[in-house]
Chain A
C-alpha cells in the first residue's frame, strides 16, 4: 500500500487554499509576485514538515489537556529557528516576507494538520502529509502570485515582458481578493468535472 497518496492528496483533494480554505492571510498578503508566493510556501512547508514529525513523535506522551499549548510551543520553536536562519542566510527574502514569517505560528494549516493528522498517525505518514499539504500550499501560492504578477506588473518570476506597469490593482490589496475568488471558481469547476 503506497503511502505516496498522502503527498498527492495535498495538491487537489486536500488543497489548503482552495478546498480547506486555511492559511488565507499569507495567501493574500505574500502573493504579490510568483517568487514571493513560492518563498512563503516553502517557508511554511519547512515548519509544517518538522512540526508534523515532532508532534507525531511526542503525541503519545502529551496529556490531553495541555496538548494545544504544547503543540503551539513546538510550532513556535520551529518558526523562530526558521526566522533566525532566514535572517542570517537569506536576508532579502526575510525582508520581503516580513511580518508573515512569525505569523506562520498562527497559520491554521500548521496547527490544523498537527491536531487533525500528526497526533494520530505515524512519523513517516505525518512527514509525508506535511510534505503534501506544504507542496499544495506552495503550488497554490505560486499560481496566485503568478497571476497577480502577470496582470499587475507584466512580469514572469521577475522577468518583465512589457515596458512599464500592468494593471496595478492586482499587486495591491483588492487584486489579492479578486484573483483568489476567480481562481477558486476555476478550481471548483475543475473539481466538479472530475
Chain B
C-alpha cells in the first residue's frame, strides 16, 4: 500500500530512520504480508504470500514497518498460519522478534523520542486497532509527537474506536464501514485539530477518503511524515 499508493510515507520513514543513525535497506522483492487473504479466509493464499515475506526478509537485522496492522500480522498471525509446519514456524519465530512497528522501533530500539522534527500544527492521533490491541502501540507515538516543536496534540474522545476500515470489510460492508468512519470523523472534528495522525496508512486512507467526501478541510499525515518535517 505504501509502495504503490503512499510512497511519501516510505520516504519519510527512511529519512527519519537515517536521521537517528540507522542504515536503511529496501529489499526490492518485498510486496505484502498477506493479511488481505488471511483476513478474508483464504489461508492457503495467505501462506503463499507470507512465505515470500519470510524469504525476502530472512537476512534483515531489523524490519521496520510503517503500519501497526501489517506488523501485527507478521508478529502474531504468521505463527497461526504455519502452526502445522514446524520448519516454517521456526523461521516465523525467528523473524517475529525482528519486526517492529515504526514508533515502537524508534522509542524502544533506537531509543529516541526527539527526532528533531518541527511542525506547526494542531493534530489528533488515531490509534489503529491492530497496533493498539495486538501490539500495545499507545504511548510511543504520543511520546514522539510530544517532542515535535510547534505541534499541539489534542486527544479525541473516544480515542480507541475503530475507523471502520477493516480491509475487505470496507468494501464488503461499505455502508456500515461508512457509518463507522463518520462517527470517527465526528470525534476528530470535536478536537478542533487540523490534521489526523496515525501509524497506519490504511486507517488514514479510510479517514482521508471520508473527510474528503464530507468536504472537510482536515488533513491526514502518517507519523513518519510528521517526524520527517522540520
B is bound to A: no
Interface residues of B (CB under 8 A from A): none
